[in-house]
Chain A
Amino acid sequence: MTLPGLIALALLAWAVLRFAAGYGPRDPALRQLSAREYALVCAAADAAFPPGGVIPLSGTQARIPAHADRYLAALPPRNRLLIRLLFVLIEHATLIFPAPGWDGWRRFSALSLVQRMAVLEGWAHSRFLPRRLAFQGLRAVLTMGYFACPAVLRAMGLAPLAIETPVVAADLLYPPIGQPKSSIRFGVADLDRAVPRTPLDPRGPLQPGFEAPPA
């Protein structure tokens, strides 16, 4: 092989390594996120929500990757693909438009926290609308994941209030999704069950699953 050929081959190998190799293991409990996507979501989650501060939980501590995995699973295939393309775009854009610093020419997930935050700030305030939209898409996934964490909602005073759900006539007709009608557990007698119909108390008890754990 000629020298230019060797150089081209080396460059190609370097590019492949930079693009696709070297990711650590992903959380085995995840169903959708690949190792690359997991690394990107973790890196972006902690850039958007670093540890400490007024809400101590970081993005990964708030289990944003697990939420992103559930979200992807819930989406139709075409829309799942769009989110995956967004992840690829964010992860590899810094190979073309580097992050600040001498070592900014790396994948997003390999950048330092400061570099990642700078990259996301750049996307957020880009004059180029598609770049802003890509940022908004990523941040929407991350932010909704952060807000899926009960401890985060409690810290902000936004955890949902407990509501006793009355049984209405329609509940005698429909089973939970995916179940046969034989699984309907309500009868006519349940229609008469007394439940509060008064306005909620904003200081009232929180929805089960959102309460603070016992001290």
Chain B
Amino acid sequence: MSDPRTGSGEVRVFADYQRDFTEVADVVVVGSGPCGAVAAYELAAAGKRVVLLEEGPPFTPADFELEGSLSMARTMREGGLRFTMGTVMPTMQAIALGGGSLVNSAICNRCPDFRFQEWANEADLARTSRKDLEPHYDAIAAFLGIAPTPDAVQGPRNLLFRDGCKQLGYGSEPCPRNVRECRGSGECFTGCRARAKQSMDISYVPAAIQLGARVLTSVRAEELLSNGRRVTGVAGRVVAPFSGAPGPRFRVEAKAVVLAAGVLASPLLLQRSGNLANSSGQVGEQLQFHPGTSVLGVFPDPVDPIFGATQGYQCLHFLRDGFKLETLWAPPGVLAVRMPGMGHQFKQELLDLRFATVFDAIASCHRSRGRVRERGKSLQPSMRWSFHPDDAAILAHAVWVMAEIFFAAGARKIVPGVASHADEMHSIAEAESLRSRPPRARDMVCASTHVFGTARMHGDPRHGVVDEDLKAHDLDNLYVVDTSVFPLSPAVNPMFTGMALARRSALALAERV
């Protein structure tokens, strides 16, 4: 990309706002995460006047924190301490230009066709298949350089996963990622210092700016403005980075609104804007997650885990069983939390981290659903969600399979992180209890960053919020283009499919506005 300042667009940061202001645009996009960024770029490329709103600030490498808790406190909503009620489960959403792409591991999987067929059955969809979305996947892949993670940056901890899967006959593959010239720092979750990850803040957003988009950061959309069947714009406040202290007010008047604030914020904005787009009663309902859990394995020889792609290898062998397996690395302090013991024993265990790697599983949980509402007038979500025992059983099965892979790869022990079982297991025979006595939901330490369903796409306006172009059934010019439109889990990491749907939606909108 050439100098993005030569274009007609601009970016504004917190220091740029002195007083209340109004902007006029063809389209205002709320949220600069993967879906919003793609939509903003495509609309700008189509010659539309685009304003892109983002509540968080842009992060430069000087703003990254290498230590896990401080990084999460700065880049995540509610300091990374957001959790569901009902079944208590942490869930993390980023607040930054580029949204979650700044701090995710860049995995870009295409949703398998069997899952699209389940979507079609669940939500009366006629033109949302893998074949329908393939051109959009391809265009995004070309733009971001999405490619399988090369062996040169896998590092031993990712390759051990491959070896274990191979021993057991489970197919595995390098994770496709939106990364160029990865150096294997394993720092995806705290911000890529090597600037290899093509997060939205350094890819689609600058490209949109070069095409004329105006990007307003540190502004919080608080209300969608509407008149009858039309939305007329967005109103909100400038907010200070990190503290959220409110500043001047703003308004963006536009011919169309693209809502891409995320699965938890998009429905809240609709609810607080006079319960917009909710004749179906589905706004904020059908909240679904990919609950994830992990197992740590310790090998006889040093693995040097500080080198290697954060999530370099994956196993799609069990997708139809309801789960996906991946390798995982995170700031060492985050991983150490799971190590057993106290005092000197704990310290001894910590030395094992140099010999360790982590595998994780994410589960498609169609029976586990919940809802989201605003917590008072806080603009923060209150989530109620229940982990269905049958879905928990899927994740428990995945824990057993991860144990199998570790021992097949030569691990000398595993730390399953399951409360109802031994802290450590030293052989596949010891781990057998994970299969014979599967852990229950409350025994597993789960977390989730993949969320869906709170403004679902449905062919029938009585049962869904948006149509297959992601236009709200109830309104003529409101589009919801984040993963809240997924009627069900995509079986794999959702970012790429959300972007593909957003691109298709933006191209349709560009024809209409």
Chain A residues engaging chain B, CB cutoff 8 angstroms: 47-50, 52-55, 67, 70-71, 74-76, 78-80, 82-83, 117, 120-121, 124, 129, 132-133, 136, 139-141, 143-148, 153, 156-161, 163, 165-166, 168-181, 188, 191, 196-202, 207
Q: Is B429 an interface residue (CB 8 A)?
A: no
Apart from the given pairs A74-B70, A181-B16, 20 other A-B contacts in the complex at a CB distance below 8 Å: A48-B343, A55-B350, A79-B78, A140-B337, A141-B69, A143-B336, A144-B334, A146-B333, A157-B354, A161-B307, A170-B4, A172-B3, A173-B4, A173-B5, A174-B13, A174-B58, A180-B15, A191-B3, A200-B183, A200-B307
B304 lies within 8 A of A202 (CB): yes
Contact with A along B1-16 (1 / 0, CB 8 A): 1111100000101111
The 18 listed contacts between A and B (C-beta, < 8 Å) are A48-B342, A53-B347, A74-B74, A74-B79, A74-B242, A76-B244, A144-B68, A156-B350, A158-B305, A159-B306, A163-B183, A165-B194, A174-B60, A176-B62, A177-B57, A178-B14, A199-B153, A202-B155
B57 contact set on A, CB distance < 8 A? 177-178
Tell me the complex Cα distance, A67–B65, Å.
13
Q: Nearest-CB distance from A89 to chain B (Å)? A: 16
B332 contact set on A, CB distance < 8 A? 147, 153, 156, 158
Tell me the complex Cα distance, A73–B13, Å.
22
B305 contact set on A, CB distance < 8 A? 158
The chain A residue sitting closest to B242, CB to CB, is: A74
Q: Nearest-CB distance from B190 to chain A (Å)? A: 9
Tell me the complex Cα distance, A71–B155, Å.
31
Q: Is B67 an interface residue (CB 8 A)?
A: yes
Tell me the complex Cα distance, A136–B445, Å.
10
B183 lies within 8 A of A199 (CB): yes
Tell me the complex Cα distance, A157–B16, Å.
43
Residue from B193, B206, B241, B354 in contact with A173 in the complex, judged by beta carbons closer than 8 Å = B206
Given A50-B344, A70-B70, A169-B202, A180 and B302 contact (CB-CB distance below 8 Å)? no
B70 lies within 8 A of A176 (CB): no
Residue from B78, B97, B353, B380 in contact with A158 in the complex, judged by beta carbons closer than 8 Å = B353
Tell me the complex Cα distance, A39–B195, Å.
41
Given A163-B183, A180-B15, A79 and B69 contact (CB-CB distance below 8 Å)? no
B62 contact set on A, CB distance < 8 A? 176
A197 lies within 8 A of B183 (CB): yes
A207 lies within 8 A of B337 (CB): no
Q: Nearest-CB distance from B213 to chain A (Å)? A: 12
Tell me the complex Cα distance, A153–B333, Å.
9
Residue from A83, A176, A188 in contact with B60 in the complex, judged by beta carbons closer than 8 Å = A176
Tell me the complex Cα distance, A177–B65, Å.
13
Q: Is B167 an interface residue (CB 8 A)?
A: no
Q: Nearest-CB distance from A110 to chain B (Å)? A: 19
Residue from A52, A71, A120, A179 in contact with B344 in the complex, judged by beta carbons closer than 8 Å = A52
A157 lies within 8 A of B304 (CB): yes
A165 lies within 8 A of B206 (CB): no
Q: Nearest-CB distance from B337 to chain A (Å)? A: 5
A76 lies within 8 A of B3 (CB): no
A188 lies within 8 A of B194 (CB): no
Tell me the complex Cα distance, A50–B346, Å.
10
Tell me the complex Cα distance, A186–B209, Å.
18
A160 contact set on B, CB distance < 8 A? 66, 185, 187, 306
A132 contact set on B, CB distance < 8 A? 419
A191 contact set on B, CB distance < 8 A? 3
The chain B residue sitting closest to A173, CB to CB, is: B11
Tell me the complex Cα distance, A104–B302, Å.
42
Q: Is B318 an interface residue (CB 8 A)?
A: no
